[in-house]
């Protein structure tokens, strides 16, 4: 391939756009062959998506695609854990696109803040000054990983907008509840809606991000449209999808997976190769899209973001606070 290198972000953005269009067509062809069929323009998945404001956006040069190798769009959008739409990795791509509407979408800011209120997603994005692209590593607690070019805004901006009172020590995120559209929510085993939380210093950390898109495009439903938390130094389950409420509290939120299996999942969910899951090792990971013969890759402390976030956890016993 012939590559000129004017600016890092310029190159990767153009590469990314062509690929994503190509991949999307592929995925739709695939769905069609399955008979799931996206017949006609009205069922085009992109027509159902809410957060369209801010595109096209530019890559934040601090988190460039050139530093990492992004996972192909078709894998990022077809290998998903989104139990609201089924427990199979292939379920969300199908069942989250069968009429579940993420447009319009309202998100509520509540709790110990001076500026509570309900916001339309696109209004909120404009209020926060638009979006940017950041390429982050993504590590699932199931010991696999991806690299995702996210679009969105820093969570810190939203915290500033909410204007928390000094008593606010934590941020609690709540996902949507709609068992009619979300087949997975018709089983009650998980205790819907999905809940996650962050400490205030984590929420205002520069890495904490709210995604509204991937690959320079609006976030597909199966990836948690229209608003999804991204905390790249934590396991993927911390990244709550399709957020409807952001609440500031003085109590540590009791997140869904911790409630389900407290010996396996904690509040912090920091990526830590030294602390194993009771059933499998966390020392290494499979790279999605690597094919059959790609080996495992060593898992890095805080998923490679140790320099940025280690300071948040000084003096904390990470083997107990996992």
Partner 1 sequence: MEKLLRSKVFIWTLLILPGLWPVVPLLQHDPTFGADPLKYILHHLGFIACVLLAAVLALTPLRVIFPKSKLALALNRHRRLIGVSAFVYAALHLATHLVYEGGFGVLVSDVKKPFLLTGLIAFTILLVLAVTSLHRLVRALGAKHWKLLHRLAYVAAALAAYHQSAARKIFPVQVLWIFVPLALLELARLVITRRQRNRVLTPSGAARTG
Query: Quick check: 28 binds partner 1 (CB under 8 A)?
Result: no
Give CA separation, 240 vs 12, 23, 35, 66, 255, in Å. 27, 25, 30, 27, 10
* Helices first, then strands: H and E counts in the chain: 8, 13
Least Å distance between CB 78 and partner 1?
A: 4
Asked whether 303 and 137 are in contact (CB, 8 A), the reply is yes
| Residue 142 in the binding site for partner 1 (CB under 8 A) | yes
Q: Which residues contact 51 (CB under 8 A, 6 or more apart)?
A: 105, 121, 122, 125, 212, 213, 218, 219, 225, 226, 227
**Alpha carbons 251 and 249: distance in angstroms, whole number:** 6
Residues 6+ apart with CB under 8 A from 261: none
Between 131 and 140, name the residue whose CB sits nearer to partner 1.
Answer: 140
For residues 116 and 289, which CB has a smaller minimum distance to partner 1 in the complex? Answer: 289
Window of 10-18, 22-30, 114-122, 309-317 that interacts with partner 1 by CB under 8 A: 22-30
In the complex, the smallest distance separating the C-beta of residue 304 from partner 1, rounded to whole angstroms, is 19
Query: Does 30 interact with partner 1 (rule: CB under 8 A)?
Result: yes
Quick check: 189 binds partner 1 (CB under 8 A)? Answer: yes
Rounded CA-CA distance 247/47 in Å is: 29
The residue within the footprint of partner 1, chosen from 33, 42, 188, 263 (CB under 8 A), is: 33
Give the separation between CA 111 and CA 93, rounded to whole angstroms: 34
**Does 188 interact with partner 1 (rule: CB under 8 A)?**
no
Work out whether 55 is an interface residue with partner 1 (CB under 8 A).
Answer: no
User: Residue written as tokens 């579940």?
Assistant: 100
Among 20, 49, 50, 78, binds partner 1 (CB under 8 A): 78
Q: Which of residues 267-296 bind partner 1 (CB under 8 A)?
A: 276, 278-281, 283-284, 286, 288-292, 295-296
Residue for token pair 């916001």: 119
Q: Which stretch binds partner 1 (CB under 8 A): 107-115, 118-126, 141-149, 226-234?
A: 141-149
Residues at the site binding partner 1, with contacts judged by CB under 8 A: 26-27, 30, 33, 74-75, 77-79, 83, 87-90, 93, 141-142, 144, 189-190, 276, 278-281, 283-284, 286, 288-292, 295-296
């Amino acid at each position: 391939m012939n590559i000129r290198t004017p600016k890092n972000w310029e190159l990767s953005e153009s590469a990314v756009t062509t690929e994503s269009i190509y991949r999307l067509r592929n995925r739709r062809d695939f769905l069609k062959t399955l008979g799931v069929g996206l017949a006609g323009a009205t069922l085009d998945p992109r027509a159902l998506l809410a957060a369209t404001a801010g595109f096209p956006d530019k890559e934040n040069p601090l988190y460039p695609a050139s530093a990492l190798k992004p996972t192909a769009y078709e894998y990022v959008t077809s290998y998903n854990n989104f139990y609201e739409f089924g427990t199979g990795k292939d379920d969300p791509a199908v069942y989250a696109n069968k009429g579940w509407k993420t447009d319009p979408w309202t998100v509520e800011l509540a709790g110990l803040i001076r500026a509570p209120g309900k916001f339309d997603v696109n209004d909120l994005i404009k209020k926060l000054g638009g979006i940017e692209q950041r390429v982050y590593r993504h590590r699932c607690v199931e010991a696999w990983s991806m690299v995702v070019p996210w679009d969105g805004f820093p969570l810190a901006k939203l915290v500033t907008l909410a204007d928390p009172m000094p008593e606010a020590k934590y941020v609690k995120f709540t996902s949507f509840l709609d068992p009619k559209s979300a087949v997975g929510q018709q089983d009650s085993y998980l205790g819907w809606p999905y809940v996650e939380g962050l400490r205030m210093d984590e929420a205002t950390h520069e890495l904490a991000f709210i995604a509204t898109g991937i690959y320079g495009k609006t976030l597909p439903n199966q990836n948690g449209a229209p608003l999804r938390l991204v905390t790249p130094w934590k396991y993927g389950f911390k990244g709550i999808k399709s957020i409807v409420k952001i609440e500031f509290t003085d109590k540590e939120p009791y997140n869904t997976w911790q409630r389900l299996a407290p010996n396996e999942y904690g509040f912090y969910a920091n990526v830590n190769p030294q602390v194993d899951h009771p059933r499998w090792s966390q020392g290494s990971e499979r790279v999605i899209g690597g094919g059959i013969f790609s080996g495992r890759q060593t898992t890095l402390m805080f998923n490679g973001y140790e320099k940025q976030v280690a300071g948040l956890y000084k003096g904390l016993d990470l083997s107990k606070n996992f």
